[in-house]
Structure 1
Amino acid sequence: MSHPYSYQISLHLLSAGARQPHRRYLFTVALTLAGWSLIAPNAAKGDLVKLLNGGEVRGKITAGIGSEGNIHLQSMTGATIVIESEQVQFVTTRPDIVEEYESRSRRIKDDAEAHWELAEWCRQRGLLPQREHHLRRVTELNPDNDKAQSLLGRVWHQGQWVDKDELMTSQGYVKYKNKYITPQELEVIENTADELERERGWFQKIKLWYGWLDGQHENRRPQGLTNLAAINDPNAAPAVMKFLSTDPRIDIRELAVKILVRTSGPKATTGLVKIALFDESLVIRTQALDGIGHDYAERAQNAFVKALKHESNAIVCRAANALGQIGDKSSIAPLIEALITVHHYQVAMDIPNNQTYSFSTDGNFSSNTPAVPLGVMEAVRAGRLLPPVFAQSPDAPQPLKKMVTVRIEHSNVEALTALSKLTQQNFGFDKRTWSLWWSAEKNASGKLKGKG
């Protein structure tokens, strides 16, 4: 069944000889229909025909452009409108929600509250440009609406609301990924992206050359060593650390140190610090520490200070030794804290059958003997996790085993040596006296500058 008010109106472009009043009448019909579509409460059609005379006809194009060059459009009232293409400036299709917005926007009161409500309606439906339009109108009608001002990206500055982007730009900042940074920071970011690309290239090359060292073609080994030894790009440091610094052969790890020392730079320094702390060879660790150099000593120092809190006492001592060699007095305070450190070790302790022990939840234990068995303490202090194996006859009763967390308080000679070198003082392992003395020194001399 057709709509009770369904009918067809044809808008024809009049010939030059037609009466002018008739032309005006036809355009009036078009404008009236356009008005109907704008104010109808259920406007949900998405097509809009813009007429050359400035009018708009909205509805749903049902047949496109017909054989006679006409556009067939059905309005929401059910009327079919036929418009000749010569009358049309353009045709556009918009989402139904935009059409609903158009209707709502023409009905609201021009006050701050109404525009705020419509802005919220637009936000919930993803109509962001329309939302911004109404937020701006809110601030025009009520400049003290802080929330609307903020949502528009404005901040209160020197007694007025100003655009935050413009303010930050005037202060020399640039916007990068919704954050304001300095041009220098942006340059670093851009350079970093370029460096990452170069790093990827070095990973491919060094992986290939490193593979030649143990490959099936023996004649490639010398070429691989030659290629590796010739590296002089700081961006190669991460790949050098991954492939060469972890090799079990000491000569390959020495080659890694030589490459890092030659290339220098922040990335190489990070690698040298890691080797100086964690390599198993004292020779390699010494070469890495000596190769850091004066220019990047401060960067290395920060890493060594952080290592003073490492869970391994051996790493703490190596870091303290490195800080003493660097010789910067700004490391005195953390070295004082590192004079005595506490570490925990998991050990498997033999409990003889005729011996009883009770263990607490924190890993401490007590027995009917006054001290922890000597074997356990010797193993812990030597850095081994297991006590020595005691010879027993095959017929002897087997001792019980218990995994124990042993708490050891270490007095670190390396930290004391470094402090004595930096301060020309020696208060032993008395942390309180060291701290009081250092506080008095800073108060007496003012801000610390330079190196000792």
Structure 2
Amino acid sequence: MAIGLISCILLVSPAMTSADVAQLRTGGELRGLGVDGAAPDDSRVTLTTPGGITVELHRDDVSEVKTRSPLLEEYETKARTIPDTGPAHWELSEWCRENRLKDERLRHLRRLVEFEPDHERARAALGHIRHDGEWLPRDEAMRRRGYVKHDGRYVTSQERDLMERAAAREERVQAWYPRVRLWAGWLFGGHSGRQLEAIENFERIDDPDAIPALRRFLSNSKSVPVRELYVATIVNIGGGAAVGPLVDQSLLDVNRRMRDLALDSITENQFPLAMTQYRRTLRSDKNIMVRRSGIGLGRVADQNAVPDLIASLITTHQYKVQVPDRSGTMSFSTAGSFGAGGASLPPDIDLMLRSGQLQNGVIVNDPAAAQNVRWKTVTINYNHKNPEILTALKKITGAEESFGYDERTWLAWWTAQKNGTF
């Protein structure tokens, strides 16, 4: 009885701003200020009230002693004195939110919804969702809707499986990088034994997961034999995974023989995938890529590529050039050529532009007019006729006569061919 009375005094005293809390083995607790050195040994726990009353407890009766902050003491006082009603618990939960007492807030929100099950703000704060007229924890509600939690997001089980498979594949891909890096280093190590071992290692690769590492360390090598080894390794891997690397090499390699080797390495059963990539590259902003795509399509394409080829007979590309800053003196032809004061580009420069050899534009300086003339950079549109596209178009359609670069006539003729009216 005496302990219970003292407990009440300690719990409700308004003067107390912080306290040591003695958790009793019987399940209760006492709050007060600990007194250091009050007991000659550790056999007793001593607390003192704000009024100066000292309470000694036998250590065997106490399971734990801990200190609570002034804020928690204020909360404990409020929690023990509020009426057990929905509005009172909501008010205290809001006070807890403002004072960042998360666990304490949740305690009162749970009590609140026992009084008011459809209290939407409390339910939202608890993370509950209404599903089929029933309030459920978010995880359970999403599970019933067919979602699972993966990396902090709700996804379908199919999406989760795909992401897990993608993550597993990425681990396998990354595992190849140190091996390929090592073997690529051996190729240039100057030790013939290591070089031969590296070549043998590459020749044995048949895992598509190795392709990203092979691309990284071999595809852009300055050594043509190394790039040949890269193509041979990709061919040995085969399948759909090999198509992208071979198409890229046929488009991007600086060596014409290497581009042809990559293109010739694409097998007939890989043609549909390769055609898709070449057709996509027809929309490149670089004319040289458009023309190389025409070469590729001439080998791998079927008649499904004809409309795209017709639309790419002439493609427009932008170039930045420097011109004299003379208002009203610049003129641009429909083909994209330009002149200053009526003059045109030098014939050799114009030819190189039209053939796609000057991908980044040109700067033309007229020595006679250079003095005291300001120059400005302008963007021009240049229309390129693409002979490789025309060649591929004639090959695929089997046209006995050519309509040149006349897109409209080609399209009309092809439509008639498809409809059987030509």
TM-score per shorter chain, which class? 0.7 to 0.9
Residues in 2 aligned to 1:424 and 1:154: alpha-carbon distance in whole angstroms: 67
Partner letter of residue 22 of structure 2?
V
Instruction: Map 1:126-141; keep pairs closer than 5 Å.
Output: 126-141=100-115
Inter-partner Cα distance in structure 2 for 1:209 and 1:157: 58
**Equivalenced residues, count:** 400
Whole-Å Cα distance in 2 between the matches of residues 418 and 129 of structure 1?
71
Deviation at residue 49 of structure 1 after TM alignment? 1.5
Contact 1:244–1:253 under 8 Å retained in 2? yes
Aligned to 1:311: 285
SS in 2 for 1:63: coil
1:325-356 deviation line (CA, Å, top 9, x unaligned) = 35494x7887676565432223467x8xxxx9
Percentage of pairs with the same residue: 33
Q: 2:337 touches 2:345 (CA, 8 Å); kept in 1?
A: no
Distance in 1 of aligned mates of 2:243 and 2:262: 9
The whole-number CA distance in structure 2 between the counterparts of 1:405 and 1:220 is: 52
1:175 is the counterpart of 2:149: yes
CA contact (8 A) 1:345 1:380 kept: no
Q: What residue number does 1:271 align with?
A: 245
Q: Which residue of 1 aligns with 2:194?
A: 220
Tell me whether 1:251 sits opposite 2:225 in the alignment: yes
Shift in CA distance, 143/337, structure 1 to aligned 2, threshold 3 Å = farther
- 1:45 and 2:18 matched: yes
> Residue 57 of structure 1: which of 30, 35, 51 is its match?
30
Partner of 2:128: 154
The whole-number CA distance in structure 2 between the counterparts of 1:268 and 1:46 is 71
Residue 229 of structure 2: SS of its match in structure 1? Answer: helix
> Unaligned 5+ residue runs, structure 2?
none
Q: Which amino acid aligns with 1:256?
A: Y
Paired AA for residue 381 in structure 1:
R
Q: 1:93 to 1:368 in 2, by over 3 A?
A: same
- Please state if 1:34 is matched with 2:14: no
Gap regions ≥5 residues in structure 1:
1-27, 442-452
Q: CA deviation at 1:84?
A: 0.8
Tell me the equivalent position of 1:205.
Answer: 179
Q: 2:407 aligns with which of 408, 416, 429?
A: 429
Distance 1:151 1:289, change over 3 A: farther
Cα drift, residue 380 of structure 1: 1.8
Q: 1:197 to 1:29 in 2, by over 3 A?
A: same
1:364-390 alpha-carbon deviations (Å, 9 max, x no partner): 965221644434422222322466999
- Within 5 Å, give how 1:348-367 maps onto structure 2: 357-358=329-330, 367=340
Among 380, 386, 396, the residue aligned to 2:353: 380
Q: Is the CA contact (8 Å cut-off) linking 1:209 and 1:224 kept in structure 2?
A: yes
TM-score by length of 1: 0.70
Q: 1:104 aligns with which of 70, 78, 83?
A: 78
Give the alignment of 1:16-27 within 5 angstroms.
Answer: none
Q: What RMSD over aligned residues (CA atoms) do the two structures have, in Å? A: 4.4
C-alpha change, 1:68 and 1:321, in structure 2 (3 Å) is: same
Q: Supply the AA of the counterpart residue of 2:407.
A: F
| 1:10-69 residue CA offsets vs partner (Å, 9 max, x unmatched) | xxxxxxxxxxxxxxxxxx232233223333446543532222444310234343875160
Distance 1:84 1:71 in 2: 6
Q: CA 1:277–1:121 in structure 2 vs 1: closer, same or farther (change >3 Å)?
A: farther
Kept in 2, the 8 Å contact 1:168–1:174? The answer is yes
Paired with 2:280 and 2:394, the residues of 1 have a C-alpha distance of 20
Match of 1:7 in 2: none
One-letter amino acid matched to 1:215: G
Shift of 1:244: 0.7
Deviates more, 1:237-246 or 1:416-425: 416-425
* 2:342 aligned residue (369, 377, 387): 369
TM-score for both structures, normalised by structure 2: 0.75
- Cα separation, partners in 2 of 1:32 and 1:92, compared to 1, 3 Å: same
Query: Which residue matches 2:61?
Result: 87
Deviation for aligned residue 1:241: 0.6
Report the Cα distance in structure 1 between the residues aligned to 2:84 and 2:308, rounded to whole angstroms: 66
